[in-house]
Amino acid sequence: MLKQAKDHGLTLKSLIYNKKGKWSFYNSSFYGIPLIWKNYHHYKFSHMSLIEPSINGDYLEKLLLFFQDQGLTKNVIFKYLPQLVNLSEQDWLSAKDLNQLYALACRELTDPFLGVRFGQTTSTNSFSIVGFMVISATNMLSALNSVLCYQSLYSRIGKMVTREENQQILLCWQAIWPRELMHPAAVEASITGWLNFVLKVADNRIKLKKVTFCHANDGCIAEYEKAFGCPVLFKQQFDAIYFDQPDLKQSGCNSNDLVHQALVEKADKVLATYGDIAFVEKIEAVLMQHGKGKILPIERVSEILNMGVGDVRKAIKKSNLSYRTILDRCKFVEALHYLLDDRLDLTSIAFQLGFSEQSGFTRAFKRWTQKSPIVYRSEILEAKPKL
Protein backbone atom coordinates (compact mmCIF):
# COMPACT_ATOMS: atom_id res chain seq x y z
CA MET A 1 0.00 0.00 0.00
CA LEU A 2 2.83 2.41 0.79
CA LYS A 3 4.26 1.76 -2.66
CA GLN A 4 0.85 2.58 -4.15
CA ALA A 5 0.76 5.79 -2.13
CA LYS A 6 4.23 6.70 -3.36
CA ASP A 7 3.04 6.14 -6.92
CA HIS A 8 0.33 8.70 -6.22
CA GLY A 9 2.89 11.17 -4.93
CA LEU A 10 1.91 10.68 -1.28
CA THR A 11 4.45 10.41 1.51
CA LEU A 12 3.78 9.35 5.07
CA LYS A 13 6.90 9.28 7.19
CA SER A 14 5.02 9.60 10.45
CA LEU A 15 2.70 6.58 10.11
CA ILE A 16 4.19 3.54 11.83
CA TYR A 17 3.00 0.08 12.81
CA ASN A 18 3.71 -0.43 16.50
CA LYS A 19 4.32 -3.64 18.45
CA LYS A 20 0.73 -3.80 19.67
CA GLY A 21 -0.46 -4.27 16.13
CA LYS A 22 -2.00 -0.82 15.74
CA TRP A 23 -1.19 1.96 13.34
CA SER A 24 -0.13 5.11 15.14
CA PHE A 25 1.48 8.46 14.39
CA TYR A 26 4.96 9.58 15.35
CA ASN A 27 5.57 13.31 15.58
CA SER A 28 2.71 13.95 13.21
CA SER A 29 0.97 17.28 12.69
CA PHE A 30 -1.71 15.60 10.59
CA TYR A 31 -1.27 17.50 7.40
CA GLY A 32 -4.07 17.04 4.93
CA ILE A 33 -6.80 18.98 6.68
CA PRO A 34 -8.15 20.75 4.78
CA LEU A 35 -8.45 18.41 1.85
CA ILE A 36 -6.34 20.17 -0.71
CA TRP A 37 -4.08 22.27 1.47
CA LYS A 38 -1.30 21.38 3.90
CA ASN A 39 -0.11 22.94 7.16
CA TYR A 40 -3.63 23.85 8.12
CA HIS A 41 -2.70 24.08 11.81
CA HIS A 42 -0.93 27.36 10.95
CA TYR A 43 -4.15 28.96 9.69
CA LYS A 44 -6.30 31.35 11.64
CA PHE A 45 -9.56 29.74 12.68
CA SER A 46 -11.26 33.10 13.03
CA HIS A 47 -13.24 32.21 9.89
CA MET A 48 -15.50 30.14 12.12
CA SER A 49 -16.73 33.39 13.63
CA LEU A 50 -16.85 35.27 10.32
CA ILE A 51 -20.33 36.08 9.11
CA GLU A 52 -19.60 36.16 5.39
CA PRO A 53 -18.96 32.76 3.77
CA SER A 54 -15.22 32.50 3.08
CA ILE A 55 -12.39 30.24 1.96
CA ASN A 56 -8.86 30.02 3.34
CA GLY A 57 -6.08 32.23 2.04
CA ASP A 58 -3.97 29.35 0.75
CA TYR A 59 -6.55 28.90 -2.00
CA LEU A 60 -6.06 32.56 -2.90
CA GLU A 61 -2.27 32.16 -3.03
CA LYS A 62 -2.53 29.17 -5.36
CA LEU A 63 -5.10 30.96 -7.51
CA LEU A 64 -2.93 34.09 -7.82
CA LEU A 65 0.07 32.01 -8.86
CA PHE A 66 -2.04 30.18 -11.43
CA PHE A 67 -3.37 33.43 -12.89
CA GLN A 68 0.16 34.80 -13.02
CA ASP A 69 1.26 31.75 -15.04
CA GLN A 70 -1.63 32.48 -17.40
CA GLY A 71 -0.45 36.08 -17.86
CA LEU A 72 -2.43 38.01 -15.25
CA THR A 73 -0.04 39.62 -12.76
CA LYS A 74 -0.74 40.40 -9.12
CA ASN A 75 -0.19 44.10 -9.84
CA VAL A 76 -3.12 44.13 -12.26
CA ILE A 77 -5.29 42.14 -9.87
CA PHE A 78 -4.48 44.40 -6.91
CA LYS A 79 -5.20 47.47 -9.03
CA TYR A 80 -8.80 46.34 -9.52
CA LEU A 81 -9.19 44.47 -6.21
CA PRO A 82 -7.11 46.40 -3.63
CA GLN A 83 -8.84 44.57 -0.77
CA LEU A 84 -6.73 41.51 -1.63
CA VAL A 85 -3.36 43.22 -1.18
CA ASN A 86 -2.90 42.52 2.51
CA LEU A 87 -4.42 39.04 2.56
CA SER A 88 -2.01 36.19 3.31
CA GLU A 89 -2.43 32.44 3.20
CA GLN A 90 -3.30 32.59 6.90
CA ASP A 91 -6.27 34.87 6.26
CA TRP A 92 -9.68 34.14 4.79
CA LEU A 93 -11.07 35.31 1.47
CA SER A 94 -14.75 36.26 1.33
CA ALA A 95 -17.00 34.66 -1.27
CA LYS A 96 -17.76 38.08 -2.74
CA ASP A 97 -14.06 38.84 -3.29
CA LEU A 98 -13.38 35.34 -4.64
CA ASN A 99 -16.07 35.69 -7.28
CA GLN A 100 -14.89 39.19 -8.20
CA LEU A 101 -11.40 37.74 -8.68
CA TYR A 102 -12.65 35.01 -11.00
CA ALA A 103 -14.71 37.56 -12.94
CA LEU A 104 -11.67 39.80 -13.36
CA ALA A 105 -9.43 36.93 -14.48
CA CYS A 106 -11.93 35.60 -17.00
CA ARG A 107 -12.41 39.10 -18.40
CA GLU A 108 -8.69 39.93 -18.64
CA LEU A 109 -7.55 36.54 -19.92
CA THR A 110 -10.61 35.89 -22.12
CA ASP A 111 -10.42 32.20 -21.27
CA PRO A 112 -13.80 30.51 -20.66
CA PHE A 113 -12.05 27.37 -19.36
CA LEU A 114 -10.05 29.12 -16.63
CA GLY A 115 -11.87 27.34 -13.79
CA VAL A 116 -11.42 23.91 -15.39
CA ARG A 117 -7.73 24.54 -15.94
CA PHE A 118 -7.20 25.61 -12.34
CA GLY A 119 -9.09 22.58 -11.05
CA GLN A 120 -6.84 20.32 -13.11
CA THR A 121 -3.82 21.54 -11.13
CA THR A 122 -5.08 19.66 -8.04
CA SER A 123 -2.67 16.82 -7.30
CA THR A 124 -2.94 13.80 -5.04
CA ASN A 125 0.22 14.99 -3.28
CA SER A 126 -1.79 17.98 -2.08
CA PHE A 127 -4.02 15.68 -0.06
CA SER A 128 -1.23 14.18 2.09
CA ILE A 129 -2.56 11.96 4.91
CA VAL A 130 -6.14 12.41 3.72
CA GLY A 131 -4.91 10.84 0.48
CA PHE A 132 -3.94 7.75 2.46
CA MET A 133 -7.37 7.75 4.05
CA VAL A 134 -8.90 7.61 0.59
CA ILE A 135 -6.74 4.89 -0.97
CA SER A 136 -7.02 2.69 2.14
CA ALA A 137 -10.84 2.82 2.23
CA THR A 138 -13.01 -0.16 1.33
CA ASN A 139 -14.37 1.61 -1.75
CA MET A 140 -14.43 5.07 -3.26
CA LEU A 141 -17.85 5.95 -1.84
CA SER A 142 -16.62 5.12 1.66
CA ALA A 143 -13.49 7.15 0.98
CA LEU A 144 -15.45 10.20 -0.13
CA ASN A 145 -17.81 10.05 2.84
CA SER A 146 -14.85 9.83 5.23
CA VAL A 147 -13.25 13.03 3.96
CA LEU A 148 -16.20 15.23 3.03
CA CYS A 149 -16.76 16.12 6.70
CA TYR A 150 -13.58 18.26 6.76
CA GLN A 151 -14.75 20.76 4.18
CA SER A 152 -16.07 23.39 6.57
CA LEU A 153 -12.59 23.67 8.05
CA TYR A 154 -11.32 25.36 4.91
CA SER A 155 -14.40 26.70 3.14
CA ARG A 156 -17.88 27.94 3.98
CA ILE A 157 -18.63 29.03 0.43
CA GLY A 158 -19.86 25.66 -0.74
CA LYS A 159 -19.31 21.96 -0.14
CA MET A 160 -19.45 18.64 -1.95
CA VAL A 161 -22.19 16.19 -0.95
CA THR A 162 -23.16 12.75 -2.25
CA ARG A 163 -26.61 11.85 -3.57
CA GLU A 164 -28.01 8.58 -4.89
CA GLU A 165 -30.32 8.70 -7.87
CA ASN A 166 -31.46 5.98 -10.28
CA GLN A 167 -28.55 3.60 -9.62
CA GLN A 168 -26.17 6.51 -9.94
CA ILE A 169 -24.16 8.37 -7.33
CA LEU A 170 -23.84 12.11 -7.68
CA LEU A 171 -21.00 14.11 -6.19
CA CYS A 172 -22.72 17.50 -6.01
CA TRP A 173 -21.36 20.95 -5.25
CA GLN A 174 -23.83 22.53 -2.82
CA ALA A 175 -23.65 26.30 -2.52
CA ILE A 176 -23.70 28.08 0.84
CA TRP A 177 -23.08 31.45 -0.77
CA PRO A 178 -26.08 32.00 -3.11
CA ARG A 179 -25.54 29.97 -6.27
CA GLU A 180 -26.68 32.82 -8.51
CA LEU A 181 -23.77 34.88 -7.17
CA MET A 182 -21.16 32.20 -7.85
CA HIS A 183 -18.98 32.83 -10.86
CA PRO A 184 -19.16 29.80 -13.19
CA ALA A 185 -15.36 29.45 -13.21
CA ALA A 186 -15.29 29.10 -9.41
CA VAL A 187 -17.80 26.23 -9.51
CA GLU A 188 -16.05 24.58 -12.44
CA ALA A 189 -12.73 24.75 -10.57
CA SER A 190 -14.25 22.97 -7.57
CA ILE A 191 -15.93 20.24 -9.63
CA THR A 192 -12.80 19.68 -11.71
CA GLY A 193 -10.53 19.57 -8.67
CA TRP A 194 -12.59 16.92 -6.92
CA LEU A 195 -12.95 14.91 -10.11
CA ASN A 196 -9.23 15.09 -10.79
CA PHE A 197 -8.49 13.76 -7.33
CA VAL A 198 -11.04 10.92 -7.47
CA LEU A 199 -9.78 9.71 -10.86
CA LYS A 200 -6.13 9.81 -9.84
CA VAL A 201 -6.68 7.96 -6.60
CA ALA A 202 -8.81 5.36 -8.42
CA ASP A 203 -6.12 4.95 -11.10
CA ASN A 204 -8.69 6.12 -13.66
CA ARG A 205 -10.63 2.88 -13.19
CA ILE A 206 -13.86 4.82 -12.67
CA LYS A 207 -15.80 5.94 -15.72
CA LEU A 208 -17.91 9.06 -15.59
CA LYS A 209 -21.50 9.07 -16.77
CA LYS A 210 -21.71 12.85 -17.13
CA VAL A 211 -20.91 16.21 -15.55
CA THR A 212 -23.60 18.86 -15.09
CA PHE A 213 -23.60 22.56 -14.23
CA CYS A 214 -26.41 24.93 -13.24
CA HIS A 215 -25.03 27.82 -15.29
CA ALA A 216 -25.00 28.31 -19.05
CA ASN A 217 -21.84 27.39 -20.94
CA ASP A 218 -19.54 30.18 -22.06
CA GLY A 219 -17.19 27.98 -24.07
CA CYS A 220 -17.29 25.20 -26.63
CA ILE A 221 -19.05 22.12 -25.20
CA ALA A 222 -16.70 19.86 -27.16
CA GLU A 223 -13.78 21.35 -25.21
CA TYR A 224 -15.56 20.69 -21.92
CA GLU A 225 -16.26 17.10 -22.93
CA LYS A 226 -12.65 16.64 -23.96
CA ALA A 227 -11.50 17.91 -20.57
CA PHE A 228 -13.91 15.71 -18.58
CA GLY A 229 -13.97 12.71 -20.89
CA CYS A 230 -17.77 12.43 -20.76
CA PRO A 231 -20.93 14.32 -21.75
CA VAL A 232 -21.18 17.77 -20.11
CA LEU A 233 -24.59 19.41 -19.72
CA PHE A 234 -25.41 22.97 -18.70
CA LYS A 235 -28.47 24.68 -17.19
CA GLN A 236 -29.13 21.57 -15.13
CA GLN A 237 -30.53 21.10 -11.62
CA PHE A 238 -27.17 20.23 -10.01
CA ASP A 239 -23.50 21.10 -10.29
CA ALA A 240 -22.48 17.46 -10.17
CA ILE A 241 -20.34 14.54 -11.26
CA TYR A 242 -22.35 11.40 -12.08
CA PHE A 243 -20.92 7.94 -11.40
CA ASP A 244 -22.41 4.49 -11.81
CA GLN A 245 -23.18 3.15 -8.35
CA PRO A 246 -21.24 -0.13 -8.85
CA ASP A 247 -18.08 1.80 -9.80
CA LEU A 248 -17.92 3.73 -6.54
CA LYS A 249 -18.97 0.73 -4.47
CA GLN A 250 -16.49 -1.75 -5.92
CA SER A 251 -13.71 -2.85 -3.59
CA GLY A 252 -10.54 -0.80 -3.77
CA CYS A 253 -7.42 -2.64 -4.89
CA ASN A 254 -5.41 -0.97 -2.09
CA SER A 255 -7.96 -1.05 0.72
CA ASN A 256 -6.63 -1.69 4.21
CA ASP A 257 -9.16 -1.48 7.03
CA LEU A 258 -6.47 -1.26 9.72
CA VAL A 259 -4.75 1.72 8.14
CA HIS A 260 -8.03 3.38 7.20
CA GLN A 261 -9.44 3.09 10.71
CA ALA A 262 -6.25 4.49 12.24
CA LEU A 263 -6.39 7.48 9.92
CA VAL A 264 -10.09 8.08 10.55
CA GLU A 265 -9.54 7.96 14.31
CA LYS A 266 -6.67 10.44 14.04
CA ALA A 267 -8.75 12.68 11.81
CA ASP A 268 -11.64 12.62 14.27
CA LYS A 269 -9.33 13.65 17.11
CA VAL A 270 -7.94 16.55 15.10
CA LEU A 271 -11.41 17.57 14.02
CA ALA A 272 -12.61 17.51 17.62
CA THR A 273 -10.01 20.13 18.59
CA TYR A 274 -11.96 22.63 16.48
CA GLY A 275 -15.27 21.90 18.20
CA ASP A 276 -18.35 20.02 17.11
CA ILE A 277 -18.54 21.33 13.56
CA ALA A 278 -21.19 18.80 12.53
CA PHE A 279 -23.42 20.00 15.37
CA VAL A 280 -22.98 23.64 14.35
CA GLU A 281 -24.05 22.67 10.83
CA LYS A 282 -27.15 21.00 12.30
CA ILE A 283 -28.06 24.25 14.04
CA GLU A 284 -27.54 26.17 10.82
CA ALA A 285 -29.79 23.72 8.99
CA VAL A 286 -32.53 24.25 11.60
CA LEU A 287 -32.19 28.02 11.34
CA MET A 288 -32.31 27.98 7.55
CA GLN A 289 -35.37 25.72 7.53
CA HIS A 290 -37.39 27.03 10.49
CA GLY A 291 -35.96 30.50 11.01
CA LYS A 292 -36.87 32.21 7.77
CA GLY A 293 -38.65 35.47 8.40
CA LYS A 294 -38.06 35.39 12.14
CA ILE A 295 -35.33 35.62 14.75
CA LEU A 296 -35.40 32.09 16.16
CA PRO A 297 -34.37 31.92 19.85
CA ILE A 298 -31.99 29.22 21.05
CA GLU A 299 -34.78 27.70 23.13
CA ARG A 300 -36.78 26.96 19.97
CA VAL A 301 -33.72 25.51 18.22
CA SER A 302 -33.05 23.26 21.23
CA GLU A 303 -36.67 22.09 21.13
CA ILE A 304 -36.42 21.20 17.44
CA LEU A 305 -33.19 19.30 18.10
CA ASN A 306 -34.81 17.59 21.09
CA MET A 307 -32.01 18.77 23.37
CA GLY A 308 -31.66 20.84 26.49
CA VAL A 309 -30.71 24.50 26.06
CA GLY A 310 -27.66 24.02 28.28
CA ASP A 311 -26.40 21.11 26.15
CA VAL A 312 -26.80 23.18 22.99
CA ARG A 313 -24.89 26.09 24.51
CA LYS A 314 -22.05 23.78 25.63
CA ALA A 315 -21.74 22.25 22.15
CA ILE A 316 -21.63 25.70 20.55
CA LYS A 317 -19.03 26.92 23.05
CA LYS A 318 -16.73 23.99 22.17
CA SER A 319 -16.55 25.42 18.66
CA ASN A 320 -15.54 28.87 19.96
CA LEU A 321 -18.77 30.31 18.65
CA SER A 322 -21.81 31.98 20.11
CA TYR A 323 -25.41 31.32 19.17
CA ARG A 324 -25.63 34.92 17.96
CA THR A 325 -22.78 34.32 15.49
CA ILE A 326 -24.48 31.24 14.04
CA LEU A 327 -27.78 33.10 13.84
CA ASP A 328 -26.09 36.08 12.16
CA ARG A 329 -24.44 33.81 9.56
CA CYS A 330 -27.80 32.34 8.60
CA LYS A 331 -29.51 35.73 8.57
CA PHE A 332 -26.77 37.14 6.36
CA VAL A 333 -27.21 34.41 3.73
CA GLU A 334 -30.99 34.86 3.93
CA ALA A 335 -30.57 38.61 3.47
CA LEU A 336 -28.48 38.10 0.32
CA HIS A 337 -31.39 36.45 -1.47
CA TYR A 338 -33.58 39.47 -0.77
CA LEU A 339 -30.86 41.96 -1.71
CA LEU A 340 -30.64 40.28 -5.12
CA ASP A 341 -34.22 41.39 -5.79
CA ASP A 342 -33.79 45.08 -6.59
CA ARG A 343 -37.57 45.57 -6.37
CA LEU A 344 -37.39 45.22 -2.58
CA ASP A 345 -36.47 48.22 -0.46
CA LEU A 346 -34.52 47.86 2.78
CA THR A 347 -37.60 48.26 4.95
CA SER A 348 -39.31 45.34 3.24
CA ILE A 349 -36.15 43.23 3.53
CA ALA A 350 -35.82 44.03 7.22
CA PHE A 351 -39.39 42.86 7.91
CA GLN A 352 -38.90 39.76 5.73
CA LEU A 353 -35.90 38.81 7.90
CA GLY A 354 -37.75 39.29 11.16
CA PHE A 355 -36.37 42.69 12.18
CA SER A 356 -38.88 45.11 13.71
CA GLU A 357 -37.39 48.10 11.93
CA GLN A 358 -35.00 48.91 9.08
CA SER A 359 -32.43 50.58 11.33
CA GLY A 360 -31.95 47.33 13.25
CA PHE A 361 -31.27 45.45 10.02
CA THR A 362 -28.86 48.14 8.79
CA ARG A 363 -26.89 48.08 12.05
CA ALA A 364 -26.72 44.28 11.97
CA PHE A 365 -25.59 44.25 8.34
CA LYS A 366 -22.81 46.75 9.02
CA ARG A 367 -21.68 44.56 11.90
CA TRP A 368 -21.61 41.54 9.58
CA THR A 369 -19.79 43.11 6.63
CA GLN A 370 -18.50 46.57 7.68
CA LYS A 371 -20.63 47.91 4.83
CA SER A 372 -24.16 49.22 4.55
CA PRO A 373 -26.70 46.95 2.83
CA ILE A 374 -27.07 49.56 0.07
CA VAL A 375 -23.36 49.51 -0.77
CA TYR A 376 -23.15 45.73 -0.49
CA ARG A 377 -26.21 45.26 -2.71
CA SER A 378 -24.65 47.49 -5.35
CA GLU A 379 -21.44 45.44 -5.32
CA ILE A 380 -23.06 42.02 -5.61
CA LEU A 381 -25.54 43.11 -8.29
CA GLU A 382 -22.72 44.60 -10.34
CA ALA A 383 -20.68 41.41 -10.08
CA LYS A 384 -23.60 39.00 -10.47
CA PRO A 385 -22.75 36.52 -13.27
CA LYS A 386 -25.21 35.48 -15.94
CA LEU A 387 -26.37 31.90 -15.34
Last residue of a domain, one of 215, 239, 272: 272
Q: Quote the domain boundaries for residue 337.
A: 277-383
The answer on 312 and 229 residing in a single domain is no
Q: Are residues 329 and 291 in the same domain?
A: yes
Domain co-membership, 133 together with 230: yes
Say what the pLDDT of residue 34 is: 38
Q: Of the residues 272, 307, 341, which one is the last residue of a structural domain?
A: 272
pTM comes to 0.81
- Among residues 272, 288, 319, the one where a domain terminates is 272
**Judgement on whether residues 73 and 46 belong to the same structural domain of the protein:** yes
Instruction: Answer yes or no: is pLDDT of 115 > 90.
Output: yes
pLDDT band at 167 (very low <50, low <70, confident <90, very high): confident
Please report, for residues 15, 16, 263, 267, 306, the alpha-carbon distance to residue 25 in angstroms, rounded to integers and kept in the order given. Answer: 5, 6, 9, 11, 38
Q: What is the CATH number of the domain that holds 335?
A: 1.10.10.60
201 and 348 in a common domain: no
In one letter, which amino acid is 167?
Q
Question: What's the structural domain count of the chain?
Answer: 2
pLDDT score at 274: 62
127 has pLDDT over 90:
no
Are both 256 and 356 inside the same structural domain? no
Question: Worst-scoring range by mean pLDDT, 5-9, 19-23, 212-216, 333-337?
Answer: 19-23
Do residues 291 and 262 share a domain? no
Same domain, 130 and 245: yes
pLDDT at 348 over 80: yes
Q: Are residues 99 and 205 in the same domain?
A: yes
Residue 269: what pLDDT? 72
pLDDT tens per residue, range 239-290: 999 999 888 877 766 677 787 777 777 777 766 666 677 788 889 999 998 9
Q: Does residue 75 sit in the same domain as residue 213?
A: yes
Q: What is the average pLDDT across 154-175?
A: 89
Asked if residue 71 and residue 173 are part of one domain, the reply reads yes
The answer on 63 and 41 residing in a single domain is: yes
Mean pLDDT lowest for which of 33-37, 140-144, 294-298, 347-351?
A: 33-37
Res. 149 pLDDT band, cuts 50 70 90:
confident
In this predicted model, what pLDDT tens digit does every residue of 10-68 receive, in sequence order? 444 444 334 344 434 333 332 233 333 344 444 444 445 678 999 988 899 999 999 99
Q: What is the pLDDT of residues 202-249, one digit of tens each?
A: 766 788 999 999 999 888 999 999 999 999 999 999 999 999 988 887
